[in-house]
Structures are given as structure tokens and as C-alpha cells.
Structure 1
């Protein structure tokens, strides 16, 4: 099977000192330099994006904590109101225990399906 690849020229212009060879090397060196700069830039952009997402995640986690505390407070407030209210007929047909149950089972199912709200 014939060998494929670059055929070496023979003659006075075939050496590494030829203008054509030097031009190819220079072009290749520039291409490599551009490629490395582009690669470093892309890596830096990725690092920046990761940092942005970490910061956003921290903010969102704090918001979840705050909203969870607020939900607990509102549940307690509702229970106090419902237990003091003489007219319990308002709450007929409503499963208060299920409504006020800890939402850990609901958040677990949402974690499995993050696209659902």
C-alpha cells in the first residue's frame, strides 16, 4: 500500500531554510498561538460562568430558606386562627392535615422533576 503524506521535495529549495517552509511554519505558529488564546479565553469564560452560577445558587438557597421559614410561620398562624374560629364549617371539605403537612414529600417529587412547578 503506498504511503500517504507529505512528499519531501528534493533540490536546493527543499531544506528547512526555504522561504516556503518558513512561511508555512510561521503560519502554523500563528494558528497555534490563536488557538491557545481562544482556548484560554473559553476556559476563562467557563470559570466566570461557573462563579456566576454559584453566586446565583447561593442567593436562591437563601431565598428558599427564607420562604420555608415564612411558610412555617403562615401555617402556624393559620392553625391558630382555625382552632380559635368558632365557625369551623368554613373549612368543611378541606383536608387541613394534608394541606398543612410538611411539604418535604412534595419537594422530593419536585426534585425528581425539576421542570415542574
Structure 2
């Protein structure tokens, strides 16, 4: 392997790896590397914890959406049954029951494709 450019090796009694200056630099560097690795591991762990938390929250929210979708369908069916059985249809003037049924079907279909 060719020697590195830009580094000039000193000659003399202070040039060895046992010099105090070299040892201090190495010790400082070793501490810096340890701190960096600890910080990196901590950040990775925090990210994993956040991913886990968000996945759990997402699962809860998906269940809530399913429950509310079922409840909406039930309430629409109840409303339509009540409207069909009601003798006084004047209360439901302007309400398009067919459109309500179509909205219910299209909402259920688009919700299943996610």
C-alpha cells in the first residue's frame, strides 16, 4: 500500500507512538468515537421505539375506522328502513334515498381498497 499523502512522519524521540502528545490525541479520539457510537445507538433505538408506537397507533386508528364505517352503514340502513315504513313521507321530501344507498356502497368499496 502506498504511503498516505499529506502526512509527514516526525523523526526523533517524540515521534514514537509512546509520546505523551500522541497518547493524549489517541485517548481523546477514542472517547469521541465512543460518544459517537453511543449517540448513534441511542438515536437508532429512539427511531425504532417511535416506529413501534406509530404502528400501534395506526392499528388502533384502522380499527376505529372499521367500527365507524360499520356504524355508519347500520345507521343508514336504519334510516332507510324507517323512511320506507313511514306513512308520512312528507318528512323525507328532498332526501334521495337511492343516493344514500349508493354513497354507502361506494364508501365501503373505497375503504376496502386501502
* 1:17 counterpart residue number: 18
Greater RCO structure (CA 8 Å; 6+ sep): 2
* 1:48 counterpart residue number: 49
**Normalised by the size of structure 2, how large is the TM-score?**
0.80
Q: Do residues 69 (structure 1) and 70 (structure 2) align?
A: yes
Query: Matched residues in 1 for 2:72 and 2:52: separation?
Result: 30
Aligned length: 107
**Normalised by the size of structure 1, how large is the TM-score?**
0.79
Structure 2 portions without partners, runs of 5+: none
Query: Matched residues in 1 for 2:53 and 2:108: separation?
Result: 28
* 2:38 counterpart residue number: 37
Q: What are the superposed Cα offsets for residues 61-101 of structure 1, whole Å, 9 maximum, x if unpaired?
A: 11112111111110110011110122323333333222232
Once the two structures are TM-superposed, the CA of residue 17 in structure 1 deviates from its matched residue by 0.8
Query: Matched residues in 1 for 2:13 and 2:72: separation?
Result: 86
